[in-house]
Each structure stands twice: as C-alpha cells, then as structure tokens.
C-alpha cells in the first residue's frame, strides 16, 4: 500500500507536468505534514520554490497546479494560503478506506523498503576483561532498535558484536594471572568478571612500575600472536569468562547479536598495511607506518597521522577497523554499515572512513555511517556512579529498575484489592523495569547526553515505557470487559469516523509508515517513541470523548476497531524498540 504522502506526491507531479511541461518530472512537491491543524493535514511550498525557475509569482503557480490537481479521492478541495502554500485536508472517507485496508494487514500498511539492502549494525561491542559499562548499554539498546527497524523494513541485517578481545593488554593480564591466580588460566569458572577487572587494574599498576614485568608481559604478547598453545588457551578462557557475563545482560535485554571480535580480523591486518602502501597513501614516520589525514592537524598546524602499524610492528584499533570494513564490504557484501558508539569515537570513525575512501575501498553503492550518542549522566549531571563512587554494574542497574517497579506494582495491587500470583508480579515488574531503561534511552535524541533517573523512567505518566505499557493494557481490558475478540472484529469491522477525536486518531494511526521510514533513514528511534507517545495521548482523547462499549451497535463496532488498530500499532511500534507488551499489569 502506498502511503498518503506518496499518493499525494504522485498526483502533484502529474499536475505539475500538465501545467508546466515534462521537464517538471521529478520535481519535489515539498509536501510536509502541516505544522498546525488550521493548515489542513499536509502542506506544500513547491509553488514558492519554483518562482525562479518558472518566472511567475508563487500564487499564480499554485493556481495553475490546482487547475490540474486531481485529489478528490484523498482530500477536500485543496486551498491556497498566504504567499502560495497549498494546503491539503484529508477526507474522512479516504481515512476510513485506508484504515479498512490496514485492518487485516500484519504490517499495518507499512510498506517494506523498495530496495532491500544488506546492512551491518555494529553495536554493543564491550571489551574482554573489562566491565561492560553504561556506554555499552546505550549502544546495545540503540543498536538493537535500529537493527529491528531495518529488519522490519525487509533489509538483510547482520548484527555484529565487535568485541575488544585483542591487544597488548592481554599479554599483561596473562603474565599477571600466571603469578597470582594461575587457575584462572586453566579452568573456565575459576573467577568472575568482577575479579578479572580487579586483576586487570592490578596488572596495569604492576606493568607501569616494574620493568622486569613489562618484559614478561611482552613475551606473552609475542606468544599470543604466534599462537603458543598455553597462552592461546589462557586468552580463550579470559574471553569465555567475560562472555558469560555479557550474555547475562543480553538475555535480560533480549538482544541477540553475533560475536565477531577484533581478533577475528588479525589475519587481514598485514594486507591493510600492504594495500595502503600500494595505493601510495602510506608514509613512514619515526618507524611507524601511517596515513596523513586531511582536515586533522596537531597544535602546530601539521597534518595528523593515523598510525596503522606501530614501530614495534603492532597494529591499532584503527587498523582493525580498516580490516573489518574491507571484510564487511568484500565478504559480507554489506551495502550499509552502521556503527553505534558514543560520540567520543566520532573522530576515530571519520579518520578510518576517510582513509578507506581515499584508498578506494568503499564502492559507491556502500554507505557507512557512525551513529553517535551522548553520555549517560547521574542525576547530578556528572558521570554515572554508585553512591560509594564506583562505576555502576549494568546488572545492578537493570535489577534496580525491576525492584523499583515491583515496589510500585505491589502498592497498586494492594490499593486495588487485587489478588495476583508471584509469577504475574515478577513478570510484569521485569518487563516494565527493563523496558523503562530501554525506553528512557531511546526516547531521547541520541545525540544529547541523558540523565539516568529511575523516578523519571519508571513514572506511569509522561513519555515513558510504563505509560505506554499501561495504555496498551487498558485497551486490552476493553476487549476483556466487552468480551470481544479484537482479531475477529478487525476481520470485518467497518470504520466510520464522525467525531473530531476519531479523525485525529485515524490520521495519526496512518502515519506509522512515514515515521518508520524516517527512522530507517535517520536512525533516530526517538521519533518512533514520540509517535507512540502521541498515539496514546490521541487515543486517550478519543476514549474520553467517545463512548465505546456503550455506543449503538454500528458505532460501537467501528470504535472497537479503532481501539484494536491502536493496540496493534502500539504493540508493533514497541516491538521495534525491543519492548514487549503486557495484556494486563
């Protein structure tokens, strides 16, 4: 099904051609949703933007277009406003028809991408032997939602976890563990990630102050790189221990992705350097191999280098990303590659992308983007910490959200004199608590920093997950109260839009596709959140104004169908954010 805007655009183009000739083909009708209901539903300022090209005043252009514009099926007669805007108001009969056609469509009328792509979303990507921190949590939540939206649009998505599982620090850690906790290197469950992180810190201290130890650590690195069996085994155990902890978080969040860590690209690193040399970009500077970057200068104003091989022969984070980029384009056949990390890595990605482009590794059909996000701050506006000043463990952070929602739920159940099972309470609290954390993250424009506040995210009013979950559950309660099967109803419901609030709700319901397509392009899930929040508000206004169960039979059926479509829209939209719904809570 074509969306309303697409319908209008096609008609508009026909009229332009009829009025001003075939070279108008492809002209952008500049149709946008009207900013104010008094301008109708959509507004075009094409007439204004065409004045130069056509050498006519905008109102005359608008009039000429209207002379040929046939949109009677969709709109009331369009009107010209101000200097030459054209306003469109959708007809109730058109809206009724559109809603009827989405009733039996599991996709609610949202068209799939016309050209499905092979897409890679590189997200989450924590580091081995380090705690997964809130930055990784943001990446996990945002990346998962982006992947879900692209999948829903029919793209072939590869979700990659670019885990930091390689580097000289492993030599240091292994050398240290051989001394203080050798069993960690031979048995798979000797220590926990928390201990590992502490050992890592101690190893670093030791490394910084002890030259003898530095040499031992370096030997371990050489052994690791040359594939010495005991060192390899030790490294693998460290990876497994960390992975176990990461899995706990992924399970809680219901996020699934494929681990392909930095070590995977080791065999391809020498070729990166070799091919850069062949392309003439590589320069040796103080023994290091590097590419001088355009647009990046040091304090003295000289171009900055991107080092791809250090003087000791070691490779860098950037080298691995260059190798990964080549692999993803060459082997995975990716056409769109999306990297979700905090904005602190923006320079890193700009530099890597620049070098890859200059080396000619990025074909024209491939789009690569960094999707940055801001910091997570505590309520004091500073970096998020526990009360005692330590970094917050993600596990604890998610558990706390669940515990707090559980407290709220228990009170509510008591207040309402309900009897609920333990299973019910625990399920509702888990879904609402975890969803609240996800939604708080997704509903902000990801580019800004966000303040982590349990009170705000768990509130049952406002733009929060609990609010939307309750909105959904309330609609389901209508079907229970009226003993109505929404699915059966939707199969043959006839929709009649009479009241203003019904029309407003209907128009909003029909905008889902536009919103999803926007997010598919701009990768800003907060737009979808806002859409869902506004949907619940518009639904509430409708529900307050229009009796549903008590209405006369045909009106009742139509209104119940509106309820059913709203519920399905909420459910679908939330699922694209990684949030499941609850029928009752």
Q: Which residues contact 470 (CB under 8 A, 6 or more apart)?
A: 460, 585
Q: How far is the CB of 342 from ligand ARG (least distance, A)?
A: 8
Q: Is 164 in the site for ligand ARG (CB under 6 A)?
A: yes
Question: Measured from the CB atom, is 164 or 466 closer to ligand ARG?
Answer: 164
A 10 A CB-CB count for 480 gives 10
Q: Nearer to ligand ARG by C-beta: 137 or 564?
A: 137
Q: What's CA 11's distance to the chain center, in Å?
A: 34
* CA–CA separation, 425 and 421 (whole Å): 6
What is the C-alpha to C-alpha distance for residues 223 and 498, in angstroms, rounded to an integer?
77
State which residue, 134 or 224, has the beta carbon closest to ligand ARG.
134
For the record, the structure tokens of 575 come out as: 């699922």
Residues 101-116 as b or e (16 or more Cβ within 10 Å = b): ebbeeebbbbeeeeee
Query: Whose Cβ is closer to ligand ARG: residue 102's or residue 394's?
Result: 394
Residue 555 Cβ vs ligand ARG, minimum distance, rounded to whole Å = 55
Q: Compute how many other C-beta atoms are within 10 angstroms of the C-beta atom of residue 10.
A: 12
DSSP conformation letters of 188-226? TTSS-HHHHHHHHHHHHHHHHH-HHHHHHHHHHHHHHHH
Beta carbon nearer to ligand ARG, 125 or 263: 125
Q: Tell which one of 162, 223, 404, 446 touches ligand ARG (CB under 6 A).
A: 162
Q: Which stretch binds ligand ARG (CB under 6 A): 118-126, 389-397, 509-517, 549-557?
A: 118-126
Looking at the Cβ atoms of 128 and 560, the one nearer to ligand ARG is 128
CA distance 142 to 340: 8
For ligand ARG, the closer CB: 125 or 231: 125
Nearer residue to ligand ARG within complex by CB, 346 or 491: 346
Tokens standing for residue 344: 């602190």
Question: Candidates 124-132, 275-283, 471-479, 552-560 — which segment interacts with ligand ARG by CB under 6 A?
Answer: 124-132
Q: Where are the alpha helices (DSSP H) in 459-552?
A: 465-481, 486-492, 500-509, 512-522, 526-545
- Note whether 127 binds ligand ARG by CB under 6 A: yes
Please, what is the minimum distance in Å from the beta carbon of residue 41 to ligand ARG?
42
Q: Which window, 121-129, 209-217, 232-240, 384-392, contacts ligand ARG (CB under 6 A)? A: 121-129
Note whether 161 binds ligand ARG by CB under 6 A: no
**Cβ partners under 8 Å of residue 315, min gap 6:** 269, 308, 309
Q: How many CB atoms lie within 10 A of CB 183?
A: 11
Q: Whose structure tokens read 């075009």? A: 44
Cβ 146 to ligand ARG shortest distance, Å: 14
144 binds ligand ARG (CB under 6 A): no
Stretch that binds ligand ARG, among 122-130, 145-153, 188-196, 548-556 (CB under 6 A): 122-130
Does position 122 bind ligand ARG by CB under 6 A?
yes
Paired strand residues for 33: 42
Shortest Cβ 310–ligand ARG spacing (Å):
18
Pick between residue 324 and residue 484 the one whose CB is nearest to ligand ARG: 324
- Please identify which residue in 125, 153, 241, 526 interacts with ligand ARG, judged by CB under 6 A: 125
The phi, psi pair for 469, rounded to 5°, reads: -65, -40
* Cβ neighbours of 506 (radius 10 Å): 23
d(CA 189, CA 183): 9
Stretch that binds ligand ARG, among 125-133, 177-185, 410-418, 532-540 (CB under 6 A): 125-133
Task: Count the site residues for ligand ARG by CB under 6 A.
Answer: 10
Question: Rule CB under 6 A: is residue 245 a binding residue for ligand ARG?
Answer: no
Scan residues 319-378 and list those touching ligand ARG (CB under 6 A).
Answer: 321, 324, 339, 341
- Rounded-to-5 percentages of helix, strand, coil across the chain: 55, 10, 30
Nearer to ligand ARG, 116 or 374 (CB): 374
Q: Is 343 exposed, middle or buried (0-12, 13-18, 19+ CB in 10 A)?
A: middle
User: In the bound complex, what is the minimum distance in angstroms from residue 332's beta carbon to ligand ARG?
Assistant: 13
- Shortest distance (Å) from residue 169 CB to ligand ARG: 12
Question: Which residue ranges make up the site for ligand ARG (CB under 6 A)?
Answer: 122, 125-127, 162, 164, 321, 324, 339, 341
């Amino acid at each position: 099904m074509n969306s309303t805007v697409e319908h209008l655009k096609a008609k508009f183009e026909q009229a332009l051609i009829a009025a001003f000739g075939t070279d108008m083909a492809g002209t952008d009708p500049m149709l946008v949703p009207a900013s104010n209901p008094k301008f109708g539903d959509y507004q075009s300022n094409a007439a204004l933007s065409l004045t130069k090209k056509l050498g006519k005043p905008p109102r005359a252009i608008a009039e000429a277009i209207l002379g040929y514009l046939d949109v009677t099926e969709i709109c009331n007669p369009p009107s010209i406003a101000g200097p030459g805007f054209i306003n469109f108001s959708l007809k109730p009969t058109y809206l009724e028809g559109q809603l009827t056609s989405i009733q039996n469509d599991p996709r609610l009328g949202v068209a799939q991408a016309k050209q499905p792509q092979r897409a890679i979303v590189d997200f989450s990507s924590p580091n081995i032997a380090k705690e997964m921190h809130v930055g990784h949590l943001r990446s996990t939540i945002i990346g998962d939602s982006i992947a879900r939206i692209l999948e829903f649009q029919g793209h072939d998505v590869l979700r990659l976890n670019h885990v930091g599982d390689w580097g000289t620090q492993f030599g240091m850690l292994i050398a240290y563990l051989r001394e203080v906790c050798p069993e960690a290197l031979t048995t798979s469950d000797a220590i926990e990630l928390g201990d590992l992180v502490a050992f890592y810190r101690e190893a670093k201290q030791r490394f910084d102050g002890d030259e003898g130890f530095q040499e031992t650590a370096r030997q371990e690195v050489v052994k690791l790189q040359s594939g010495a069996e005991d060192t390899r085994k030790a490294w693998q155990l460290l990876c497994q221990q960390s992975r176990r902890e990461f899995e706990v978080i992924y399970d809680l969040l219901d996020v699934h992705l494929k681990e392909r860590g930095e070590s995977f690209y080791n065999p391809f690193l020498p070729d990166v350097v070799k091919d850069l040399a062949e392309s003439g970009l590589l320069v040796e500077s103080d023994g290091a191999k590097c590419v001088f970057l355009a647009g990046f200068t040091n304090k003295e104003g000289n171009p900055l280098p991107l080092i791809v091989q250090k003087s000791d022969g070691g490779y860098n984070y950037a080298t691995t990303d260059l190798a990964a980029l080549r692999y993803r384009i060459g082997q995975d056949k990716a056409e769109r590659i999306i990297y979700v990390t905090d904005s602190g890595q923006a320079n890193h990605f700009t530099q890597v992308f620049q070098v890859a482009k200059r080396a000619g590794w990025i074909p024209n059909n491939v789009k690569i983007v960094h999707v940055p996000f801001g910091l997570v701050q505590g309520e004091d506006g500073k970096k998020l910490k526990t009360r005692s000043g330590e970094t917050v463990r993600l596990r604890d952070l998610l558990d706390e959200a669940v515990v707090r929602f559980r407290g709220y739920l228990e009170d509510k159940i008591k207040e309402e004199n309900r009897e609920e099972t333990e299973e019910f309470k625990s399920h509702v609290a888990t879904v609402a608590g975890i969803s609240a954390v996800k939604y708080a993250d997704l509903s902000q424009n990801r580019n800004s920093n966000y303040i982590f506040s349990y009170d705000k995210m768990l509130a049952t009013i406002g733009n929060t997950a609990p609010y939307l979950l309750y909105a959904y559950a309330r609609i389901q309660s209508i079907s229970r109260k009226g003993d109505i099967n929404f699915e059966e109803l939707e199969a043959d419901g006839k929709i009649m839009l009479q009241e203003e609030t019904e029309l407003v709700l209907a128009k909003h319901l029909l905008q889902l596709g536009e919103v999803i397509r926007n997010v598919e392009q701009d990768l800003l899930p907060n737009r979808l959140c806002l859409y869902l929040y506004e949907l619940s508000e518009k639904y509430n206004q409708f529900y307050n104004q229009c009796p549903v169960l008590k209405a006369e039979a045909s009106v009742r059926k139509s209104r119940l169908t509106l309820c059913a479509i709203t519920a399905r829209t909420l459910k679908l939209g939330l699922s694209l954010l990684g949030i499941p719904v609850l029928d009752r809570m």
